[in-house]
Chains A and B, each alone.
Chain A
């Protein structure tokens, strides 16, 4: 059992890493369940006793939190739906058709993924203000309706479908859109769902661009709302801030816990070169 001992040694750094990764999340949740005294006197105690939901009732009563949740959801769901559609359509074009400059077009789409967001925000801000979409959810969503990474991932999955399947459908006289809907989509459904989850989480978590577009507090998304709870250093509203942080994190965490396999597999694919 020599190998067992050796293996044990490698668990030490891994467990330290797990502690570093998990402790802040546990800490965030436990702080949100403490009252003011517990926060400052039992700061490190991960088990608040007795746990209190006061922080949650406070944020729900004093702040339009449900509005924020609604706003965030609408933006995340809308963005996700559009992104999935545009990505699937574009990826289909790349695997089904042969055309000139195919690789160039694909690369220029993928490249958009790497453009730093601040490079685009000022021109896009000016555009949104011209379109009167500042302070409107659509203003947040529009620039995110196409996604280079989404196209890449969808193309990657579609490439895994044997060509003969498509050819069989072609010989049966199926038109491209029918092939996409009746042959390709049913086959890649798990990947589409995974990519959708990924898009949803990313959009839910988005901070920077919504910050510029949504100026009215009523239009805020959850990540933006968090900003309001950052008071000057030494501020004492940590319990409330953590409660909002927990509420913001809950949907992604729940999605993650239940769709772990999906999510990890998609993320694992994203690095594999095509």
Chain B
């Protein structure tokens, strides 16, 4: 019932196309994350749902109703802004109750809901403070409270954690998921932080230049990115993209030629120039590996070593456990065919993968 459907939605300012023909279905109660670099149109997409941006063309359907022309105040959405947008002249209590008062709810109802929200976010005792007397984390929680108290079926968040320091951010992520579990609203969450996306989302939508790149579960996004952009955007360090050449059952990377297993031969049929995407943790040093390269730099963060390897002029990252034998000079690297992504070198699109002995394209 409380689903959101984008049908060919476009948004442009004059000649600048911000969102290009977006088709997307957001299910009731899901935690959907809009992810992408700045300027990719993710915030605009969120603001179109809120009604803060007009829709240039296409249809936006919320709860089964086309709401292109419904004013923001009548869409029954709750939103948390990046800057929190707390009213500086109002106390925490009045900030939280502001929307309810505008909606002219009964005094008892306002009181009950506000108290409940304060309790959920552990803000009891701060009711009379002004926003300027709160810490960053507290402000963020008041902003959440203000959205929560409306009990809207739609919960929109625009980079809600970007103003917090790393430690608080982790706590806040957990808290967000917990709160979502209480009411199960349809939650749309904009971020450019892939860790946030991976940890919070039921489903991630990756956008770039106004175009939807992939919409899938975090797991699929991580292991089977739809194209090299998604592959490069998720994971740190990012997925390595290595050029290779495929011809009649053999794969050639640099000077090294190796056999391709049968199932993957089928998958690669008709392809010659391919890009092989391998996560840094999936590369293992091996003298007779399918890749040869030269170690140029190493970083050790204690629990993990990141080794930079030069492979035919391309930079490849390998992550290894923090302790272990030193490696240097020319080395071989090996990978498992189950763990690679294959991309068309021209279109940069994913060719497909093998799952449980079946080819998935």
Contact = CB atoms under 8 A, between A and B. Distances in A.
A and B bind: yes
Interface of A: 162, 164-165, 167-175, 178, 182-183, 186-187
A171 B87 contact: no
A170 B72 contact: yes
Interface stretch (B74-82, B168-176, B296-304, B311-319): B74-82
The interface residues of chain B, by DSSP majority, are classed as: loop
Contacts of B102: 169, 172-174, 178
A172 B87 contact: no
Given A173-B102, A186-B89, 6 more contacts: A167-B85, A168-B79, A171-B72, A171-B78, A178-B102, A183-B87
The interface residues of chain A, by DSSP majority, are classed as: helix
B264 interface: no
A157 to B, nearest CB: 14
9 contacts: A164-B81, A167-B72, A168-B85, A170-B52, A171-B77, A172-B102, A173-B73, A173-B74, A174-B73
B78 A165 contact: no
A237 to B, nearest CB: 53
Contact of B50 (A171, A173, A183): A171
Of A167, A174, A187, the most chain B CB neighbours within 10 A belong to A167
A183 B85 CA distance: 11
B83 interface: yes
A171 B78 CA distance: 7
A186 B146 CA distance: 19
Contacts of B352: none
Contact of A173 (B81, B82, B103, B146): B103
Given A171-B77, A172-B73, A174-B73, A165 B98 contact: no
B96 to A, nearest CB: 11
B88 A170 contact: no
A171 B89 contact: no
Interface of B: 50-52, 72-75, 77-79, 81-85, 87-89, 98-99, 102-103, 146, 150
B292 to A, nearest CB: 53
A135 to B, nearest CB: 44
A166 to B, nearest CB: 9
Contacts of B79: 167-168, 171
A274 to B, nearest CB: 22
A23 B52 CA distance: 58
Nearest to B89: A186
Contact of A187 (B81, B88, B103): B88
Of A162, A172, A186, the most chain B CB neighbours within 10 A belong to A172
Given A162-B83, A167-B85, A168-B81, A173 B52 contact: no
A159 B83 CA distance: 16
A162 B85 contact: yes
A182 B98 CA distance: 10
B82 A164 contact: yes
Nearest to A185: B89
A173 B101 CA distance: 10
Nearest to A167: B52
Nearest to A98: B54
Contacts of B82: 164
Contacts of B84: 164
A170 B73 contact: yes
Nearest to A162: B83
